Structure 1
Amino acid sequence: LICMDLDPMEEDGLAGQIIIISLAENIEDYYVGHLQFRMRAWVDYMNDSISSGRLSYDEEEDIMKFEGRDSGLPAYYDEEDRTALEDYIAKEFDEFNDVFHELESPDIHCDVYIIEPTPEANYYTLVTGGMGAHRMNVPADYPYTPNIELAINLPPTWDIKSQEEKDYWPIRWLKMLARLPINHNTYLGNGHTIPSNEAFEGTNFKGVILVAAQSNEKNEDGENLPAIVELPSKRRVEFFYIQPLYQEEMDFKLDQGTDALFDKFIEQDVPYPPVVDVNRVNVCEGYAPAENPNLLDNVAWAFNDKIYESLQNFWMAVYDYNQDIDNNLDDYAPHSTIFNSKKVKVMYEAYIKDEKSLWKYEKLLNPDTFDGEPEDDGLYYAEIMAECEAYEDHFGAIELLQWIHNSLASKELGDHIFFEGFSIEGYEEDGTPVISLHLGS
């Protein structure tokens, strides 16, 4: 249940708070907590979800619904599921003596269980509890569980109670990653890398990779099974470790793939399970991605009006589209570097109603676009320049195509909706490529 408590918590008396009640068989087992301490924050969250397209009206069910979720309501474990999850954590990781309880829970209630160092495992283990209540938006044929929890191992000298960023960043990243599939309507799994804008405080790490955790149970061949628990609700929840990466390791993984990076970890004796070591060897030191502007030459795509917030979801859409036309991309490396540049300027032609059809990063190349009469449909022919900016210091192939796609989503292309590559028109003084987009019908 979601309830509005209109009694303000703050002295200014401006607003109340949103609370939730998670029902159980016995009333003493009911969980009561806060969705948001401030009602305005909850309203802002819902408005942002609507404007981003995550929350929209479902005509068939006559409700507002989060895309990729069963409902617009938060996802929480019930008492039975949480007890089973905690029992599994104690069995597979070890007993926990402390829990960092989450105070505000607008979408999931994500606590962090603290397992202290032991002689057998001389490191802290921090495990999320709550992320797995949310079913991630996975592809239809996804062979793995759509529910996961995360863990990170820290050295025994780590000050886990400190609020200083050099100590707190592992907990902050656990909580941030726990909500990433919700906020971006996507999914996380083994080998997925997530970059950071800045190095983690006190380290040279610039991102993380997810590494599948192993159970203590073994199969018939003596190999450890994946750490997966089946809860009373029939959810199957898999656990993944977070391993921090250096920038060169991030670049290498995107160019060469997950297995190649894991092989380097083995060659350099990086231990498993991974324990954060701010002084560990950089297994890809000196690696620099080589750009290849031809990476999209054999990738087919039809532009449409859907906005893709998640790069992973966009890549799966491109992959499926190519599969449907028998263009196999199984061996394709979608994140390989297409340009060693932070920015790429893309020139293209489209039809628009007015300047409001342009994104903030776009401009008209023909200033007299609206001087004459529009076409019969009220649209004007326009030549447009989009200044696309990569998340990292270089552009991956599918990242660039996603930028192009989202730029075109607000425009009318007529029959020319098919991607047919691009031409490099030149480079600006700072090295920014300027390309001209080719569209076919």
Structure 2
Amino acid sequence: MGGKRIARQGDVELTHLEQAAGPVAPTLPTVEEIEAHVSRCMGEPAFVWHEVVSTTIHVDVHVILPTDDQPYYTLFTTGMSDRAMHVPADVKMGPALRFAELLLMLPPDWFDDPRSLDELRDERKYWPIRLLKCLARFPHECDTWLAFGHSIPNGDPPAPFAEGTGMCCALLVPPVRVPQSFYDLSLSDGRSINFYAVVPLYPEELQLKLTRGTNALLERFDVEGVTELLDPHRANTCANWLDPMAVN
């Protein structure tokens, strides 16, 4: 497990998260293949947060409980890959990037009871789940694509995801808390699924990424140990960074 992350898809910031209505893509039977793949690599999900009302795609969030070997919740989506993303024709290896699912990890004390609806009504608990669902739906509602190195702000201007955290943007990177076998999944219908970890960012981290590139930010993450395991109170890796473009 582990390893450094090198950006290959460019340093892209996409339009802020928004909602849009549209016909819902049918859930494909290959969702079971995605579930089985994650189960082999990370452990079997204990339960699924099923989406009751969907737009564009039906997004479910699967939950793997903390264990001694993996002392954190693992959350991953299914449904994002039910539709192909619109990857520009000039993107290198574009056809291989059309289908994706997302994941992140939460600390073991994030929930008292992850099945409790009362806890999920607390936005301080629910916002990472909401983020996964919004990001999974985003490329299909906005006729765009998501891949390694893409960043998505929470509004314009970016607003904190929830009370108690200053994080207001999301970055997609390769997960590092997974075995090597996790990265590549070819389904029986010929689709290749890419898995991206969602890492929430502070405004200064987004600015560094946009100014100096994804690799510059990931180098700081590697030094500070920032991964897809969410810590809403972690130190800002760019707190003392000064944007040279802002200096007169």
Give the superposition deviation at 1:226. 6.2
Provide the residue aligned with 1:208 in structure 2: 170
Cα distance in 1 for residues equivalent to 2:224 and 2:177 = 24
Paired residue for 1:264, among 220, 225, 233?
220
Determine if contact 2:51/2:58 at 8 Å carries over to the other structure: yes
Q: Within 5 A, what are the aligned runs for 1:180-195?
A: 180-195=138-153
Q: 2:192 aligns with which of 202, 226, 236?
A: 236
Aligned pair partner of 1:78 in 17, 28, 32: 28
Query: Which structure 2 segments of 5+ residues have no match?
Result: 1-19
Q: 1:74, 1:107 within 8 Å by CA — same for their partners in 2?
A: yes
Which residue matches 1:423? none
Q: Please give the secondary structure, in 1, of the residue aligned with 2:244.
A: coil
Tell me the distance in 2 between the aligned counterparts of 1:215 and 1:251: 26
Higher strand share: 1
Letter in 1 for 2:217: L
Contact 1:248/1:284, CA 8 A, preserved across alignment: yes
Contact 1:212 1:226 in 2 (8 A): no
What pairs up with 1:282-293 in 2 under 5 angstroms? 282-291=236-245
Q: CA deviation at 1:157?
A: 0.6
Kindly provide the amino acid, as one letter, of the partner of residue 38 in structure 2. I
Give the Cα separation in 1 of the matches to 2:216 and 2:199. Answer: 16
- TM-score norm. by structure 2 comes to 0.80
Residues 80 and 137, structure 2, Cα contact 8 Å, conserved in 1: yes
Match of 1:153 in 2: 105
Q: Counterparts of 1:15-414 in structure 2 under 5 Å? A: 45=21, 74-79=24-29, 81-142=30-91, 143=93, 144-159=96-111, 160=114, 161=116, 162=119, 163-196=121-154, 197-201=158-162, 202-213=164-175, 224=180, 227-270=183-226, 272=227, 274-291=228-245
Stretches of structure 1 lacking an aligned partner (at least 5 in a row)? 1-43, 47-72, 218-223, 292-339, 341-441
How far apart, CA to CA, are the structure 2 residues paired with 1:130 and 1:214? 22
Equivalent residues of 1:111, 1:128 under 8 A apart: yes
Displacement of 1:229 after TM fit?
A: 1.2
SS of the residue corresponding to residue 240 of structure 1 reads: strand
Whichever residue aligns with residue 87 of structure 1, its letter is A
**Deviation at residue 215 of structure 1 after TM alignment:** 8.9
Matched position secondary structure for 2:104: strand
Could you list the per-position Cα deviations for residues 20-56 of structure 1 after superposition, in whole angstroms to 9, with x for gaps in the alignment? Answer: xxxxxxxxxxxxxxxxxxxxxxxx935xxxxxxxxxx
Change (3 A) 1:164 1:216: closer
For 2:69 and 2:78, how far apart are their aligned partners in 1?
24
Specify whether residues 241 and 254 from structure 1 end up closer, same or farther in structure 2 by C-alpha distance, changes over 3 A only.
Answer: same
C-alpha displacement at 1:84, in angstroms? 0.7
TM-score scaled by structure 1? 0.46
Q: Is the 8 A contact 2:97 2:147 kept in 1?
A: no
Question: Distance in 2 between the 1:181 and 1:283 partners?
Answer: 28
Measure, in 2, the Cα distance between the counterparts of 1:269 and 1:213.
13
- Secondary structure (helix, strand or coil) at the match of 2:44 reads coil
Any idea what the Cα deviations from partners look like across 1:336-369, whole Å, max 9, x if unmatched? Answer: xxxx6xxxxxxxxxxxxxxxxxxxxxxxxxxxxx
Higher relative contact order (CA 8 A, sep 6+): 2
Which string of whole-angstrom CA distances, capped at 9 and with x for unpartnered residues, describes residues 67-121 of structure 1?
xxxxxx6333422x01111101111221101100011223211111011000011
Residues in 1 aligned to 2:82 and 2:184: alpha-carbon distance in whole angstroms = 14
Higher helix proportion? 2
User: Which aligned runs of 4 or more in structure 1 are off by greater than 4 angstroms?
Assistant: 214-217
Count of aligned residue pairs for this structure pair: 214
Q: What is the one-letter code of the residue matched to 1:45?
A: A
Is the radius of gyration larger for structure 1 or structure 2? 1
**CA distance 1:235–1:203, shift in 2 (3 Å):** same
RMSD, aligned CA: 2.0
Identity %: 35
Deviation, structure 1 residue 268: 2.1
Retained in 2: the 8 A contact 1:214–1:227? Answer: no
- What amino acid does structure 2 have at the position aligned with 1:255? T
CA distance 1:279–1:105, shift in 2 (3 Å): closer
